[in-house]
Amino acid sequence: MFALLAPIVVIAVILLVVQSLRGGGFGGAERAKRVAIVLMVLAVLLIVAGFTQFRLFRQPGSAATVVLVLDVSESMSQDDVEPTRMQAAKDAARVFLNEVPEDLAVGLVTFGGDAQVLARPTPNRDVVDGALTGLPRSEGTVIGDGLELAIDVVAERWLDEGDGPAAIVLLSDGRDTGSETSPLTAAERAAVVDIPVYTVVVGQDLEAAAGANTGLLAAIAQTTGGQTYTATTASGLIEVYRTIREQLVVALEITGFGVGFVIGAAFLAVAATVALLYSLRSEMTAGAKPKPRRVPRDVPRSRRPRARRG
Number of residues that make up the chain: 310
Percent of the chain's residues with pLDDT above 70: 66
Confidence of residue 1 (pLDDT cuts 50, 70, 90): very low
Contacts 24+ apart (CB under 8 A), 273-280: 273/36, 275/17, 275/21, 275/32, 275/33, 275/35, 275/36, 275/39, 276/32, 276/33, 276/36, 278/21, 278/28, 278/29, 278/32, 279/28, 279/29, 279/30, 279/32, 279/33, 279/36, 280/29
Which tops the pLDDT comparison, 101 or 249? 101
Q: What is the pLDDT of residue 179?
A: 94
Looking at 63-67, 280-284, 297-301, which range is the least confident one?
Answer: 297-301
Q: In what helix (H) or strand (E) does residue 273 lie, and over which residues does it extend?
A: helix 256-288
Spell out the residues 6+ positions from residue 158 whose beta carbon is closer than 8 angstroms to its own: 63, 164, 166
Q: What is the pLDDT of residue 301?
A: 55
Average pLDDT for residues 2-8, to the nearest whole number? 49
**Whole-number Å distance between alpha carbons of 70 and 151:** 14
Angle (nearest 5°) at CA 111 between 110 and 113: 140
Average pLDDT for residues 61-65, to the nearest whole number? 62
CB 179 within 8 A of CB 140: no
Q: Which of 242, 246, 262 lies closest to 254, judged by CA?
A: 262
DSSP state of 294: P
Q: In what helix (H) or strand (E) does residue 254 lie, and over which residues does it extend?
A: strand 252-254
Instruction: Quote the pTM value.
Output: 0.65
Phi and psi torsions of 307, nearest 5° = -75, 140
**90 HSE (CA, 13 A, CB side):** 17
**230 HSE (CA, 13 A, CB side):** 15
Burial of 197 (0-12, 13-18, 19+ CB in 10 A): buried
Q: What is the pLDDT of residue 297?
A: 58
**Whole-number Å distance between alpha carbons of 29 and 126:** 69
Q: What is the pLDDT of residue 3?
A: 45
Per-range mean pLDDT, top range of 56-60, 77-81, 286-290: 77-81
